[in-house]
A and B are shown apart, each in its own frame.
Chain A
């Protein structure tokens, strides 16, 4: 199993550009999550999904969108990048309330 994979690993965006962060898991987990991690601030939940076709907002959803058309994939879309979105983004998956499995992260720099 590859576990949770994320692409790209690193990206620089200009203000106002858009991009999609990709996330995939091969463990048939029903739950998937997107977090951002700012230095010294821990993890903040952006969006989550409890299954294909179902998504919901987390703590900091503004400026982001998600979709879940399949069990495996959970892309995160940034429509108009802003410097405040400079962060490290982690995707995770789990089977209900059990252990979360994290991807390696995407470092995003918005200039």
Chain B
């Protein structure tokens, strides 16, 4: 079945540092890939997505490129802020047998940014 593997956290950085959170996936076909962010006490919200190979998703200074050859979708940001402290989830969505779309989530990576 499908799976998503994320680097374990917490990731602790100083403000303005460079961020990478690794995500690799296993899928049978051509899934859409997502990064969601969860701020403390809230539900998940979409950060960015990519729907086909070599697409780059971007939002709020975050970027991720859909790499089919390495089955990866790593999240990057050039300069993190304290307000970026949250839990980040990598996810994929692919058509299942029978035609339904069931998403698969990684376990989440906690990011802590210090001033």
Contact = CB atoms under 8 A, between A and B. Distances in A.
Given A42-B107, A97-B95, A104-B43, A50 B89 contact: no
Interface in B25-55: 32, 34, 36, 42-46, 49
A100 B103 contact: yes
Contacts of B100: 31, 48, 50, 56
Contacts of B44: 43, 90, 92, 100, 102
B102 interface: yes
B49 A104 contact: no
Contacts of A90: 43-44
Nearest to B108: A42
Contacts of A56: 100
Interface of B: 32, 34, 36, 42-46, 49, 89, 93-95, 100-103, 105-108
